[in-house]
Each structure stands twice: as C-alpha cells, then as structure tokens.
Amino acid sequence: MKQTFTLLLTVLALVLTISVAGAQEDGWIQIFNGENLDGWKSNENYEGFEVKDGAIVGKGNRNHLYYYKEELKNFEIKLDVKISAGGNSGVYVKSQWQDESWPVTGFELQVNASHGDPVKTGSLYNIIKIFKAPHGDNEWFNYHLILKGNTLEVRVNGELLYIYVDPLEKGGVPQDGKITEQNKRISQKGYIALQQHDPKSIPAFKNIFLKKLPD
C-alpha cells in the first residue's frame, strides 16, 4: 500500500512538472493573481479598482490602473472582460504613465455594449470604429491583442476583427515625415492599463495573461 501511494505521488509530481514546463515553453504568464493588485498601480491619486471574486472591478470616478512592472513593445495579451449595462471602459496598450487624465499615448481598445457612445467593444478608439458590440451587458468576453512591430491584431472571443497596420515606414519614420502622438505610439514601449470611466460604469477584468514576443 505504501509503495502504491509513493508511486502515485511520483506520477503526480511528474505530471505537474510536465505541465509547468509546457506553460513556460508556451511563454504565457499570468499578470493578475486573482487575489490582490500586486504589480498594478492606479493614477489620479485614487484607488478606483478593487478585487472581487477573482476579478479586478472598477468603481467611482475616472481612474486608470497600470500594469506597472514593465513597459512592453512586442507582446500578446489575453483577458476576460465584462461591462455593466450603460457602462463604458477600455483596455490600453503601449501607454505612457500619466499621473492624471485619460492616457494620451498608446491605444485604447474600447469596452462598451450599451453606453451612449456609439463606438463599441472591439474598436481601436479614434482609429477603427465598430458600432455593434460583439457581446451583451454583464457578459464576459475575451480580448486577445497581438502587438508586433507596426501591427496590432485584435480578436474578440477568438474571432479576428482586424489587423491594424500603422502607417510608419521602416525605421519609425512616418510616410509623410511628420511625427504626431498618434503615429509614434505604435512603435514605442508602454504600459498595459485598464480604465474606470465614470461612477455609472462597472467594468471587470480577470484571467489576464501576457506573452512577450521577440523584437
């Protein structure tokens, strides 16, 4: 009996070792532990987010929660998102840290099913507009974003919505020679950030995974 138990423990340990090795080879890491906001930082001197039932939940006035461990350039991110009825939110990528206000660099992926703003989930704010949300109010959906070089691939619930190609030539020089906030941000490093839009909006985020890509 003791030998059988020892054998079972050995097999279990082997299975766990193989699983962990596979996860490391796959390259994905979990950047929200489901318990607290370690590695994340709010701006505006305001704690506009809390952890409830394994998810990051927004509350109160405008606030942005940055994954503040490192700035990223080429990467993938997957996360599950939910938004309340009439609510508005967003997921930012490649944004620079700001002490206050809406991020002015990076890209915002809209989160909106029924808010008055006609630009719905899946939209690349101020660049690509989608007017029909691919999900309902209070319904979890999955965002999968892939940023590589001058491209941004956007998937919702596994479906490819579009691949945005930034109009930059090789070397980071715009085709018209003019550097603006909009055309410089695709090639820079920046933070991932989550948005709390307003007191009437209640977004939630969970299962947040990051995969770094080679330069």
Using an 8 Å Cβ cutoff, are 28 and 166 in contact?
no
- How far is Cα 124 from Cα 36, in angstroms, rounded to an integer? 29
Superfamily designation of domain 31-212? Exo-inulinase; domain 1 (2.60.120.560)
Query: For the segment 31-73, what is each residue's pLDDT rounded down to a tens digit?
Result: 999 999 999 999 998 889 999 999 999 999 999 999 999 999 9
In this predicted model, which residue has the larger pLDDT, 170 or 203? 203
**pLDDT at position 167 over 80:** no
pLDDT of residue 172: 53
Mean pLDDT of 144-165: 94
pTM of this structure: 0.82
- How far is Cα 133 from Cα 135, in angstroms, rounded to an integer? 5
Mean pLDDT of 137-154: 95
User: How do the domains of the chain map onto residue ranges?
Assistant: 1-28, 31-212
